[in-house]
Copies of this chain bind each other. A is one copy, B any other.
Amino acid sequence: MTDPDLHASPFPRYSWPGGKTSAFCFTVDVDAESPYLWGRKDAVPDALIGQMEQRLFGPRTGIWRLLDLLDRHAMKGTFFVPGLVAENHPALLPAFVARGHEVGLHGYFHEVVADIQDDEFVRALDESFAIFARQIGAKPTGFRSPAWEMTPFMLAELKRRDLYDSSLMGFDHPYTIDGVTEIPVQWAIDDAIYFKFVGSGADRWAPSSQTGVLDSWLDEWDVLKRERGLFMLTVHDWISGRAGRIRMLERLLESIANDPAVWIATVGEVARHHRSLGDGFSVTSRVPDAIGARRFKGAQ
């Protein structure tokens, strides 16, 4: 009665290597104090140290728990590190590399895209490359945007430098946008939206129940693996390095890591695989249309 060949998605199912039917990336956005400092860039200076201490829990304790968690599950992850965080905590990049993980770019000051001009984005990339070179003698191959926003200019700049991107949500498997390899993220499987809480009247909601979030993530996984999707988990040093979230992540990894059909890989490995597939899943970025101008014309 229905004709799936004619009336189905124009995009085929995604292909994974080595007989795998889905993929899993464990990624850490190692923000530490950087978003707080960025958010205060125009603020009157004060001497409050509460939020600094909350966030410094990440480099002091949280990040090491996450590293140990990955070791216990023999998993390699990808750590996106703002330049400022690498500078302020010089033990981090060398430790990530020494323990076998991928490191990627995450802005210099964790610059929020809507706040900056194109040239500041370019300078942030340049400066971050310099820090990575100094600290680990290596050049990262991937970028994740602070707060997960992008512009066509940023995509063009990533393409010029042959970097993959991991900041957009247009599919739940790898794709290509404006010629850039995109390994997509998703709000629903990010820890910060559920668990970030900083006090001082700045929060709009309480932390979610970990049980409820874990159930939702396992549901996500159930369907992603049969739809040949990618589970792109994103956690943060100072949020998921807390004890309760480590427990929740263990439960998640126990479910996912033992599935023989899943390819557990770094984002860079997934990006290389996607490039090997050729031109499928390619789209062009769309900036918001000026609906105001069309509003009366279109409706006439």
A289 partner, pick from B37, B99, B221, B286, beta carbons under 8 A: B37
Among B126, B212, B247, contact of A211 (Cβ-Cβ < 8 Å):
B212
Min C-beta distance of A170 to chain B, whole Å: 4
| Complex-state Cα separation, A242 to B91, whole angstroms | 38
- Chosen A-B contacts, 18 in total, with CB atoms closer than 8 Å, are A1-B99, A2-B71, A8-B95, A9-B60, A37-B288, A41-B291, A45-B288, A48-B149, A48-B150, A48-B288, A49-B285, A50-B148, A51-B288, A127-B300, A172-B243, A205-B205, A210-B219, A219-B244
Q: Say which size band chain A's interface belongs to.
A: 35 or more
- List residues of A whose CB falls within 8 A of some B CB: 1-4, 6-11, 33, 36-38, 40-42, 45-54, 56-57, 60-61, 64-65, 67, 71, 83-84, 91, 94-95, 98-100, 108-109, 113-114, 120, 123-124, 126-127, 147-153, 167-172, 177, 186-188, 193-195, 197-200, 203-213, 215-217, 219-224, 227, 229, 242-248, 283, 285-292, 295-296, 298-300
Q: Contacts of A36 on B, CB cut-off 8 Å? A: 288
Does A168 lie within 8 Å of B49, measured CB to CB? Answer: yes
Chain B contacts of A99 at CB under 8 A? 1-3, 7
Q: Note all chain B residues with C-beta closer than 8 A to A42.
A: 292
The reply to whether B216 and A210 form a contact with Cβ atoms under 8 Å apart is yes
Taking CB atoms, residues of chain B closer than 8 Å to A71 are 2, 4
Judge whether A48 and B114 touch: CB under 8 Å: yes
State in angstroms the CA–CA spacing of A52 and B187 once bound together. Answer: 14
Q: List chain B residues, Cβ under 8 A from A100.
A: 1-2
User: Complex: how many Å from CA A54 to CA B295?
Assistant: 23
Tell me whether A200 and B114 are in contact in the complex, defined as CB-CB below 8 angstroms, given that A219-B210, A242-B186 are known contacts: yes
Q: CB distance B223 to A243 under 8 Å?
A: yes
Residues of B within 8 A of A60 (CB): 9, 11, 170-171, 283
Residues of B within 8 A of A229 (CB): 243
Question: Closest 6 interchain pairs by CB?
Answer: A209-B212, A220-B244, A223-B243, A53-B170, A7-B95, A219-B247
Docked-complex contact A286 and B242, CB < 8 angstroms: no
Verify B9–A150 contact, CB threshold 8 A. no
Q: How far is the CB of A259 from chain B (nearest CB, A)?
A: 15
Asked whether, in the complex, the Cβ of A222 is within 8 Å of the Cβ of B247, the reply is yes
Give the distance in Å from the alpha carbon of A155 to the alpha carbon of B285 in the complex: 39
Q: How far is the CA of A91 from the CA of B9 in the complex (A)?
A: 9
Q: Is the CB of A227 within 8 A of B206?
A: no
Closest to A126 in B: B299
A250 to chain B, nearest CB (A): 8
Cβ–Cβ contact A47 & B199, under 8 A: no
Q: How far is the CB of A292 from chain B (nearest CB, A)?
A: 4
